[in-house]
C-alpha cells in the first residue's frame, strides 16, 4: 500500500521535519506513528494526504508515485486532521450534504444517506446545529462519522487524541474500528502508546524527524 524510500522534508536549510524516512505499510495493515509533538509523524501523514510535498526521496501509494496520485480516482482515502475541517457557519446536515454532493451522489441518494447516518449514530439533536456552536469533541466525532459515507482504502488519523476527553476517545476508537474493513489500511499519528495499542498492530517510533527503534 505505502512505500517510502529515502524521504526528506526540509522547511529551512537547517531544519528537516523528516530525515531519511524508509518504511513499508501493507494493504489492510494498522500502523501507529508514535512520538512527541514535532517528532515528524504528522509531517509524514500530511505528505501521505498530499498536504505537503517531500523535499527529496520517493513515496508510493498503491504503487503510484505520490506526485501522480489522484485521491478522487485512484483510491478512496479519508483524513482526519488535528484541527477539524468543516464549513463552520453551516449546520451538521449541510456539511454532510456538501461532502456527499462533492462525491457525486444524487439529491435523493444524499437525503437517504444522511437520514440513515443521523439515525445510526444518534445525532438527531445536533443535525441542525451550526458547526461553530459545537465542541471540539463533537467536531472530531462528526469528522469520523462523515467518513462512514465511503468505503475507504486508506484511513489517516492525525493526533486527535491529545485534544479530546477520555470518554470521547473511546467513542472515537470504536468509530475508527468501524470504519476499517479488511482492505482498509489505517495509519494513526499519536503521542499516546495506549491509543496506538488499542488501534494498531504495529508501532513505528519517531524522534527528531527520524524513525527510531524505541523512545527513551
Instruction: For residue 14, name the pLDDT band (cuts at 50, 70, 90).
Output: confident
pLDDT at 79 over 90: yes
Write a three-state SS string for the chain: CEEEEEEEEECCCCCEEEEEEEEEECCCCEEEEECCCCCCHHHHHHHHCCCCCCCEEEEEECCEECCCCCCCCCCCEEEECCCCCCCCCCEHHHHHHHHHHHCCCCHHHHHHHHHHHHHHCCCHHHCCCEHHHCCHHHHHHHHHHHHCCCCCCEEEEECHHHCCCHHHHHHHHHHHHHHCCCCCEEEEEECCHHHHHHHCCEEEEEECCEEECCCC
**Dihedral in degrees, nearest 10, Cα atoms 98, 85, 152, 92:** -50
Instruction: For residue 84, name the pLDDT band (cuts at 50, 70, 90).
Output: very high
* Residue at 35 is within a domain: yes
Instruction: For residue 104, name the pLDDT band (cuts at 50, 70, 90).
Output: confident
CA distance 42 to 89: 28
* Residue at 189 is within a domain: yes
* Residue at 117 is within a domain: no
Instruction: For residue 95, name the pLDDT band (cuts at 50, 70, 90).
Output: very high
* Residue at 139 is within a domain: yes
Instruction: For residue 3, name the pLDDT band (cuts at 50, 70, 90).
Output: very high
pLDDT of 102:
84
pLDDT of 6:
97
pTM for the model: 0.93
Q: What is the domain-level CATH number for residue 77? A: 3.40.50.300
Range of the domain at 136: 2-89+130-209
Specify which residues 2 forms β-bridges with. Answer: 25, 61
* Residue at 34 is within a domain: yes
pLDDT of 215:
85
Percent of the chain with pLDDT strictly greater than 70: 100
Summarised one tens digit per residue, pLDDT across range 109-165 is: 999 999 999 999 999 999 999 999 999 999 999 999 999 998 999 999 999 999 899
Amino acid at each position: 500500500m505505502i512505500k517510502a524510500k529515502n524521504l526528506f522534508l526540509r522547511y529551512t536549510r537547517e531544519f528537516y521535519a523528516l530525515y531519511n524516512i524508509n518504511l513499508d505499510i501493507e494493504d489492510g495493515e494498522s500502523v501507529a506513528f508514535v512520538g512527541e509533538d514535532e517528532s515528524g509523524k504528522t509531517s509524514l501523514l500530511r505528505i501521505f494526504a498530499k498536504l505537503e510535498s517531500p523535499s527529496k526521496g520517493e513515496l508510493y501509494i498503491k504503487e503510484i508515485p505520490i506526485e501522480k496520485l489522484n485521491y478522487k480516482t485512484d483510491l478512496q482515502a479519508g483524513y482526519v486532521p488535528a484541527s477539524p475541517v468543516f464549513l463552520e457557519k453551516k449546520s451538521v446536515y449541510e456539511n454532510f450534504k456538501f461532502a456527499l454532493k462533492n462525491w457525486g451522489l444524487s439529491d435523493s441518494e444524499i437525503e437517504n444517506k444522511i437520514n440513515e447516518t443521523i439515525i445510526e449514530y444518534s445525532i438527531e439533536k445536533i443535525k441542525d446545529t451550526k458547526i461553530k456552536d459545537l465542541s471540539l469533541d463533537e467536531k472530531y466525532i462528526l469528522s469520523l462519522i462523515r467518513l462512514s459515507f465511503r468505503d475507504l482504502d486508506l484511513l489517516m488519523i492525525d493526533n486527535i487524541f491529545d485534544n479530546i476527553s477520555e470518554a470521547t476517545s473511546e467513542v472515537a476508537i470504536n468509530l475508527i474500528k468501524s470504519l476499517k474493513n479488511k482492505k482498509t489500511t489505517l495509519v494513526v499519528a499519536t503521542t499516546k502508546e495506549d491509543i496506538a495499542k488499542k488501534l494498531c498492530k504495529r508501532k513505528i517510533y519517531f524522534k527528531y524527524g527520524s524513525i527510531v527503534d524505541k523512545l527513551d
